[in-house]
Amino acid sequence: MNLNRFNLVLVSVAWLSASWCASAASYSFADDFSDKKDTTAGSQDRWQYFQSVVTTNRTGVYPHLDVYASSLGSLGYPAWRRRGAGVVYPHVGKNTSDHIIYGVMPGEGLLVPARDGTGVAIGFKSPAAGYYQVQGSVRAADNRDGTGVNWYLDRGSGAANLAFGTLGMGENNNFSFPAVYLNQGEFLYLVVDPNGNIASDFIAVDFKVSEAPAAVSMIWQPTLRVNGIPGRRYAIESIDQVGGADSWKVLTTYTEDGQGKLILDPTWVGAHQRFYRMVELGPE
């Protein structure tokens, strides 16, 4: 991987965001969590839970977590888990108790990846074609035995992650997108994988999706337009102060298809200035 070739990017910036609209249909993973779920491939449920997500070869088609446990093992909360006698991991659950469980607060949803190294996912299935506002967070509530997790928000292929990151113990990442277009029946996945370690990682999750209103309130949020050499892969990186103590952070990666790409920077909030560069990673 060649990380030596890069360009500082001076961009013309489009700005787009939208306020949340109370009248629009909205969905919350934690609020909607229940034991009523269709786990067949043709399910039309808004929220579906998946296992065996291989993050190095994303297909967008994954088997469901198809067994509901009202109190999972000795953990004491309800969860959807993998089929098999006594199986606990992986699972998707919710802390319905009045106390903290493995760092997960009462009322919070959670993801725990598999001990075979594969990822676990929450899928939101779009009820209709259109734009959706997406927001949430992932927090490493308890991974004392592990090395943290990787997480991804995307449409399933892994080729164009909307957001991604790596979490160590106690770390939290937020994500917010004002206008994500989804076709009817298309999935938006929030995936967690164990980052190569099979120990238990309890990841507290907030995941909300709302129909974007037809009329929006505009606030400033930068969208970058970048162009590269077709067939080559690039990382788009940002920094708030060149030459200071800050280090460049990867915003996203993409493979140039000759059409260029628009990239939203949802992490800009609170920054007085920001610089961007694109780093060539070499052919895909």
Q: What is the pLDDT of residues 235-273, one digit of tens each?
A: 988 888 777 677 888 988 888 887 777 787 877 766 667
Q: pLDDT at residue 80 above 70?
A: yes
Residue intervals of the chain classified under CATH 2.60.120.680 are: 26-211
Q: What pLDDT does 10 receive?
A: 37
Task: Give residue 86's pLDDT band: very low, low, confident or very high (50, 70, 90).
Answer: confident
- Running DSSP on this structure, what letter comes out for residue 29? H
Q: Where are the alpha helices (DSSP H) in the chain?
A: 29-32
How many Å apart are CA 132 and CA 178, to the nearest integer? 7
Query: Which amino acid, residue 265?
Result: D
How many Å apart are CA 85 and CA 88, to the nearest integer? 9
Beta-sheet pairing, 202-211 with 26-28: antiparallel
Q: What pLDDT does 23 receive?
A: 52
Q: What pLDDT does 8 receive?
A: 42
Q: Which of 47, 52, 26, 25 is nearest to 36 (CA)?
A: 47
Q: pLDDT at residue 132 above 80?
A: yes
How many Å apart are CA 79 and CA 118, to the nearest integer? 18
In the chain, what percentage of residues exceed pLDDT 70?
81
Please list, in sequence order, all residues whose beta carbon lies within 8 angstroms of the beta carbon of residue 34, skipping any fewer than 6 positions away.
none
Mean pLDDT of the chain: 82
Q: What pLDDT does 179 receive?
A: 84
Task: Give residue 191's pLDDT band: very low, low, confident or very high (50, 70, 90).
Answer: very high
User: Is this model's pTM higher than 0.75 or not?
Assistant: no
May I ask the CATH architecture of the domain 26-211?
A: Sandwich (2.60)
The 10 Å Cβ neighbour count of residue 282 is 11
Q: Which long-range contacts (CB under 8 A, 24 or more apart) does 109-112 make?
A: 109/29, 109/30, 109/33, 109/204, 109/205, 109/206, 109/207, 110/141, 110/202, 110/203, 110/204, 110/205, 111/138, 111/190, 111/192, 111/203, 111/205, 112/200, 112/201, 112/202, 112/203
Q: What pLDDT does 13 receive?
A: 40
